[in-house]
Amino acid sequence: MARTIVIAGNWKLNLSVEEGVALAGALAKEAGNDREIVVFPTALSVYPAVQAAAGSKVEVGVQNAYWEVSGAYTGELSPELAKAAGAKWVLIGHSERRQYFGETNETCNQRVQATLRAGLKPMLCIGETLEERESGRLDEILRGQITGGLANLSADDLADLVIAYEPVWAIGTGVVATEEQAQDAHALSRGIVRDLLGDAFADSVRILYGGSVKPDNAAGLLGQEDIDGALVGGASLKADVFSGIINS
Ligand code: 13P
């Protein structure tokens, strides 16, 4: 089954509002091929980035969202508020949120459910640490993240889901997974999705690779059978570099 490639940029805690608007505007002008393009600015820059990219194919998402709609939850934002600001996506369970902010498979599941209730598209991040990989726990970790993150949801519920496989050891390190390592982990992940949600869903869900993706390694990764796009950190912060990946 043909799966449309998604190229997503996670800006993390980078770029001022002014810089984010400039980048979103530049990408909006350039994004000319048939790939889906998504950017995840800081929360402050979401609304102005939506304005800057209006009328283009560049979609905007938030890097995290809480599962309550509104109320006394200081410092949080909800998928509903993100949607009202023009966001289309919610990034969920990035390894930095799991490592530094106590995100678990259970809280990821609550965020996936809240995202779907708001009518936004969830991008669920999964991935193992080096220690987990080297101790032979890759299957166990990915299985726990996928089955935990997608618990209590049907294939119909999850029609807009995208999964991002990001091995923790490849994030921000310059150490990219080899094409073979990435393809093997993606095939494993797709198999886990198949066990959970069936063939039709597993064949259509997009699984992106993230971790030191650059213009010069993107084409090789995207050429792998089970790799349906990229979630890019550092190389998404400059329009010409990110465009090099979009057009790879
Ligand atoms: P880098 O591309 O900087 O390795 O970051 C990957 C990532 O974490 C994207 O979410």
The predicted pLDDT at position 240 comes to 97
Average pLDDT, the chain: 97
Torsions phi, psi of 174, nearest 5? 80, -5
- The strand ranges marked E within the chain are 6-10, 36-40, 58-62, 89-92, 121-126, 162-165, 206-210, 229-232
| For the chain, domain boundaries | 6-246
The predicted pLDDT at position 159 comes to 98
163 versus 30: which is more confidently predicted?
A: 163
- Which of 232, 238, 241, 245 maximizes ligand 1 atoms within 8 Å of its Cβ, making it the mutation to test the pocket? 232
Averaged pLDDT for residues 50-61: 97
Averaged pLDDT for residues 217-245: 98
Assigned token pair, 68: 């309550």
The predicted pLDDT at position 243 comes to 97
- Does the Cβ of 221 fall within 6 Å of ligand 1? no
- Which of 212, 214, 221 maximizes ligand 1 atoms within 8 Å of its Cβ, making it the mutation to test the pocket? 212
The predicted pLDDT at position 31 comes to 66
pLDDT tens digits, 29-54? 986 789 999 999 999 999 999 999 99
| Cα 182 to ligand 1 centroid, rounded to whole Å | 14
For residue 178, pLDDT beyond 70: yes
Q: Which of 80, 103, 128, 166 is catalytic?
A: 166
* CATH class (in words) of the domain with range 6-246: alpha beta
The predicted pLDDT at position 30 comes to 84
Residue 121, classed as helix, strand or coil, is: strand
| Cα 70 to ligand 1 centroid, rounded to whole Å | 30
CA nearest neighbour of 184 among 123, 147, 227, 222: 227
The predicted pLDDT at position 119 comes to 98
- Does the Cβ of 210 fall within 6 Å of ligand 1? yes
Residues in the chain: 248
The predicted pLDDT at position 2 comes to 86
86-101: b (≥16 Cβ within 10 Å) or e = bbbbbbbbbbbbbeee
- Is 59 a catalytic site residue? no
With cut-offs at 50, 70 and 90, classify the pLDDT of residue 1: low
The predicted pLDDT at position 137 comes to 98
> DSSP labels for 207-236?
EEEESS--HHHHHHHHTSTT--EEEESGGG
* DSSP 8-class letter at 93: -
pLDDT tens digits, 103-156? 999 999 999 999 999 999 999 999 999 999 999 999 999 999 999 999 999 999
